[in-house]
Amino acid sequence: MPPDLSTQTPPTRANSNKVIKLVQPNRDLSWQVAPSLVISFQYAWNGLSYAFQTQRNFRIHIGVGALALGLGFFLGLTSIEMAVIGLTIGAVLAMELLNTAIESVVDLTVKQAYHDLAKIAKDCAAGAVLVSSMAAVLVAGSLLLPKLWILLQPTLQGFTNRV
CA 90 and chain centroid, separation: 7
CA 31 and chain centroid, separation: 24
Amino acid at 52: F
129: closest CA among 52, 60, 48, 66?
60
Half-sphere exposure for 46 (CA within 13 Å, toward CB):
6
| Sign for the pseudo-dihedral over CA of 72, 74, 75, 78 | positive
CA 151/CA 163 separation, integer angstroms: 20
> Radius of gyration (Cα) for the chain, nearest Å?
26
103 included as an active-site residue: no
Active-site position among 51, 85, 88, 96:
96
Could you give the residue numbers annotated as active site?
96
